[in-house]
Structure 1
Amino acid sequence: MITEKNFSKDWIFNICNLLRKGKNKADPELTEKVIIALFLLESIKNTGLKFIFKGGTALLLLLNKIHRFSIDIDILVERDINNSLLIKMFRDLVNGSNIFYEFEELDRISTKIIKKTHFKFYYKSILDGRNKYILLDIVFDANPFIELIEKEISCDLLDIDGEIIKVSVPSIEGILADKLTAFAPNTTGIPYGVNKELEIIKQLFDISILFNDVKNLNVVSETFKNVAIQELGYR
């Protein structure tokens, strides 16, 4: 489990020093947000909700080295999961947490084509006392990934004690396939000219890192087809 030690200034600044590149230390605010995002992931897992953890933050668990910080939690759940059940789970999560004090739902979309929602989980920063949040993105749909693996919620950012919680994540090949679909602006991907250039750059950076660890391009190919079909269905 993620310990209380992670939520102290000493721990955060120590991690910033450990992740130093040349004269540049890691940003303390981003470091805190990543730690709290992973704590949110662990807390959601402890609610009993079944989900697949994907997206950029999942790379912190999949790869042996931290290449960039990602501060959102992206999960995939079955389409028949009831939204009111999620809200009850999250209310219980917040009521039992010493980190999160509130949550709210944003921009719920529910049609025959796509069902997704977003939640903000609020916390008070140990660094400056300001109220901040972690964004949770949820898509309700079938699993398109050929390979899923169980990964421990553990990385160089975290102090862990006792049982290490595991979550279901796509393999490196699966995450790569998912990210490759971003590069088709008129179909499955991120459109050009809508102020999402930074998102495109992040996807490209992640792809460059993931390719170094890919073992099976057939899995990439088959997963890409599945994800592309799913993404086309949302358009």
Structure 2
Amino acid sequence: MLSKKIFTQEYISELRGRTGDDPLMIERTLFAFGLLEAIKSVDMPFVFKGGTSLMLLLDIPRRFSTDIDIVVEPGTDIDSYIEKAKKVFPFYDKDEDVRKGKNNIEKRHFRFKYLSPSSGKEVVVILDVLFEERQYPNTVFKPIRNSLLVTEGEDLIVEMPDVESILGDKLTAFAPHTTGIRFGQDKELEIIKQLFDCATLFDAMKDIEIVRDSYNKVVRSEMSYRGLTCSVEDVLKDTIRGCLCIATRGGSNPDDFKYYIDGIGRIRNHIISQMFNGEIAGAYASRVMYLAASILTGNDNILGIKDGAEYVAQKPEISKPKWFSYLKIVDPVSYGYLIEASRLLKNIEI
């Protein structure tokens, strides 16, 4: 169980001193885990997904996440669980944020309320509930425990997609012209979060087949929900073009880059103990581009590049290779992934 001390100003200040990060982001993340434990403690049936789940799934949390995303089976009556959870410390109430969806996805959104230990004001943690049949190839069970949390007694265990399964899911969300989060809706931060998460998960993945399986299931569902007539290949190319845009720092598509650079600037205080800028985003995009290119071309021989030195003298088989020269300095390994992606895509029109 989570120790109540993590919901105090003293502990938030302690974490700020340890990480150097934004105390508001720290607070909201800690209380998000409080909500996760609340819904688990009342035996609500769900699969935990989304950015916050990565803070339990990965060995080291990489970015803050301040809401809870779950999947429940269609037809599940969640109201009794929600009513019980709103009374679990540190929360005192909740309300439902009723939204009119633009597609056929069945979702509900709840705002759980707590008093901020720093300001004394009411703050909310969002619970997003997706009603959907399970699509993840594999799930794992993880304790609510990581390096930012303090626990005592017996851990509560939550079910979530494994690394490969959630990577396939998140990759569909980084495709802003097809199945992904769209530009121009003040969600540029969310778009870059998907890029960051995909690159982070890529470094931890072990089985491309599971990623491909998860991706194909989720992307087809998303196309159906949105009434899209594009193909899976079109969505992958959308992702690859987005990666190229970021990796070329707008050289390949200045119009889209203005949205990406906005998100890159806004994500900085969400990253734990790490700098993030346009060049680092380009390095992350190179990894995601290689992943998307591998799924598109059926490449099962995913390379785990450890040393990029052998690639530094090589040029990507893409027009205007000078656009990518900075990657040799910023992250030679990512430059290596860019080279490998360009080889896979050599005869494909993107």
Q: TM-score, normalization: structure 1?
A: 0.91
Choose the corresponding residue for 1:153, options 144, 148, 156. 144
- Looking at structure 2, the residues matched to 112 and 172 of structure 1 have their Cα atoms a distance apart, in angstroms, of 28
Greater than 2 Å deviation, 4+ residue runs? 107-114, 183-187, 192-195
Choose the corresponding residue for 1:92, options 58, 73, 84. 84
Give the number of the structure whose residues are more often helix, by fraction. Answer: 2
- Looking at structure 1, the residues matched to 22 and 101 of structure 2 have their Cα atoms a distance apart, in angstroms, of 37
Counterpart for residue 65 of structure 1: 60
Task: Mark the runs of 5 or more structure 2 residues left unpaired by the alignment.
Answer: 227-350
- Looking at structure 1, the residues matched to 2 and 222 of structure 2 have their Cα atoms a distance apart, in angstroms, of 34
Task: Mark the runs of 5 or more structure 1 residues left unpaired by the alignment.
Answer: 20-24
Report the AA paired with residue 105 of structure 1. E
- Looking at structure 2, the residues matched to 167 and 135 of structure 1 have their Cα atoms a distance apart, in angstroms, of 18
Counterpart for residue 22 of structure 1: none
Q: What is the DSSP-based 3-state SS (H/G/I as helix, E as strand, rest coil) of the residue aligned with 1:122?
A: strand
8 Å CA contact 1:72, 1:134 repeated in 2: yes
Select the structure with the greater relative contact order (CA < 8 A; seq sep ≥ 6): 1
- Looking at structure 2, the residues matched to 191 and 206 of structure 1 have their Cα atoms a distance apart, in angstroms, of 17
Residue 108 (structure 1) shift: 4.7
Counterpart for residue 35 of structure 2: 40
Report the AA paired with residue 68 of structure 1. R
Size of the alignment, in residue pairs? 226
Report the AA paired with residue 4 of structure 1. K
Residue 111 (structure 1) shift: 10
Residue 183 (structure 1) shift: 2.6
Counterpart for residue 117 of structure 2: 126
Residue 110 (structure 1) shift: 8.1
- Looking at structure 2, the residues matched to 208 and 201 of structure 1 have their Cα atoms a distance apart, in angstroms, of 11
Counterpart for residue 138 of structure 1: 129
Identity among equivalent pairs (%): 40
Report the AA paired with residue 168 of structure 1. E
Q: What is the DSSP-based 3-state SS (H/G/I as helix, E as strand, rest coil) of the residue aligned with 1:107?
A: coil
- Give the root-mean-square deviation of aligned CA atoms: 1.6
8 Å CA contact 1:179, 1:203 repeated in 2: yes
Give the number of the structure whose residues are more often strand, by fraction. Answer: 1
Moved more, 109-118 or 60-69: 109-118
Choose the corresponding residue for 1:227, options 218, 221, 226. 218
Q: What is the DSSP-based 3-state SS (H/G/I as helix, E as strand, rest coil) of the residue aligned with 2:203?
A: coil
